[in-house]
Amino acid sequence: MTVISLSALDLSLAALLVLALAGLTLWARLGVGRSLLIAGVRTVLQLLLVGLILQTLFDHARLGWVVLMAMAMLLIAGYEVMARQERRFAGFWGYGIGTATMFVSAFAVTVLALTTMVGPTPWWEPQYAIPLLGMLLGNTMTGIALGLDRLTQTVWRERRVIEGRLALGDSWVCATATMRREAARSGLMPTINAMAAAGVVSLPGMMTGQILAGVPPVEAVKYQILIMFLISAGTGFGALGAVWFASQRLFDHRARLRLDRLR
């Protein structure tokens, strides 16, 4: 099965659809036309840039370069987690909680998959390591961002309830138990929905890409199942860890609620 190459004309025709959508949003006064166009331009530039970087990385595969690329992806993902929260922690904690939990969860699951399940030689082969880490980081980033945003928003809104429970003798763990559960659930829900709908409502992106590239459908399905399970584990561990550490940060050593640590 041959791979059908896309020309610049093909991509231009697809871009015209985005331009048409932007024009429609301007006509409807939705206020997102400019953002849509900027996002489209960023998509082209960013993907072209990463394509060139990956091609160079594949041609000159070295563990150091793979680690450098992975760390750059992690640091950017950490910034995106912080930027997506309406109320985030002040100072380094606003950036550090999401970044640290992504490092522990997404990196650990990726290394486990590369060394035991996928098994390329060497295990850090960039053709496998970078795309796999990218998928895990992207989904873990979303789960952690949703979980942290839900937690901080709920704690801010229910601060009087929390302080009342603390005054009655509850520990901070008990006082925030329901809020932590709801925050973790919020972080996990997109992944659960994606797993539940996979193959029935939609064909996942990796599976679709492999099929378009000529990989036998059954082999593509096996890889997609592996990816979905890895994503659910990375997202779940990351969201749970981030919610727990963020909850601790909201209280001082005397178990007093410290909303001044948010901004």
Reported as a single tens digit per residue, the pLDDT across 198-224 is: 877 767 777 777 787 778 888 888 888
Task: Tell me 31's DSSP state.
Answer: S
| Phi and psi angles of residue 112, each rounded to the nearest 5 degrees, phi first | -60, -45
Across 73-102, average pLDDT: 91
Boundaries of every domain in the chain: 1-60, 63-261
Instruction: Please check the confidence at residue 3 and state whether its pLDDT lies above 80.
Output: no
Measured CA to CA, the distance from residue 179 to residue 176 in angstroms comes to 5
The per-residue pLDDT for 199 is 74
Say if CB 238 and CB 255 are below 8 A apart: no
Across 21-38, average pLDDT: 90
The per-residue pLDDT for 1 is 56
Measured CA to CA, the distance from residue 75 to residue 62 in angstroms comes to 20
- Find where tokens 């399905």 sit: 221
Measured CA to CA, the distance from residue 86 to residue 105 in angstroms comes to 24
Q: CA separation (Å) from 258 to 68, 87, 261? A: 36, 13, 6
Q: Quick one: pLDDT band at residue 84, thresholds 50, 70, 90?
A: confident
Render the burial of 151-164: b for 16+ CB within 10 Å, e for the rest.
Answer: bbbbbeebeeebee
Q: What is the mean pLDDT of the chain?
A: 90
Instruction: Please check the confidence at residue 191 and state whether its pLDDT lies above 80.
Output: yes
The per-residue pLDDT for 32 is 87
User: Closest by alpha carbon to 137, among 42, 209, 46, 235?
Assistant: 235
The per-residue pLDDT for 104 is 92
pTM score: 0.85
The per-residue pLDDT for 2 is 63
Instruction: Please check the confidence at residue 226 and state whether its pLDDT lies above 70.
Output: yes
